[in-house]
């Protein structure tokens, strides 16, 4: 679970930056840019707190 969330979260962060460059070089349209960045932001906002909670639980167990 932790590995999957880490990969998904990092991929989502990349997908918040990559569409801007694709739009800059006229590879995708503006509406595609907005859709990709919105979806990636949602995925990151879901994965990040879940992953942070896992890290906090692990830190509590070590203490």
What is the per-residue pLDDT for 16?
93
Show the tokens assigned to 55. Answer: 């890290």
pTM of the model: 0.81
- How many angstroms separate the Cα of 31 from the Cα of each of 20, 28, 40, 57? 12, 8, 14, 40
Cα 54 to Cα 9, 11, 18, 57, 59, distances in angstroms: 14, 19, 28, 5, 9
The span from the CA of 59 to the CA of 29, in Å, is: 44
Tokens of residue 25, six digits: 């070089």
pLDDT tens-digit readout, 17-27? 999 999 999 99
């Amino acid at each position: 679970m932790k590995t999957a969330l880490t990969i998904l979260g990092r991929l989502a962060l990349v997908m918040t930056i990559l569409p801007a460059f694709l739009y800059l070089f006229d590879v995708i349209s503006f509406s595609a840019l907005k859709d990709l960045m919105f979806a990636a932001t949602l995925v990151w906002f879901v994965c990040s707190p879940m992953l942070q909670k896992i890290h906090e639980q692990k830190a509590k167990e070590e203490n």
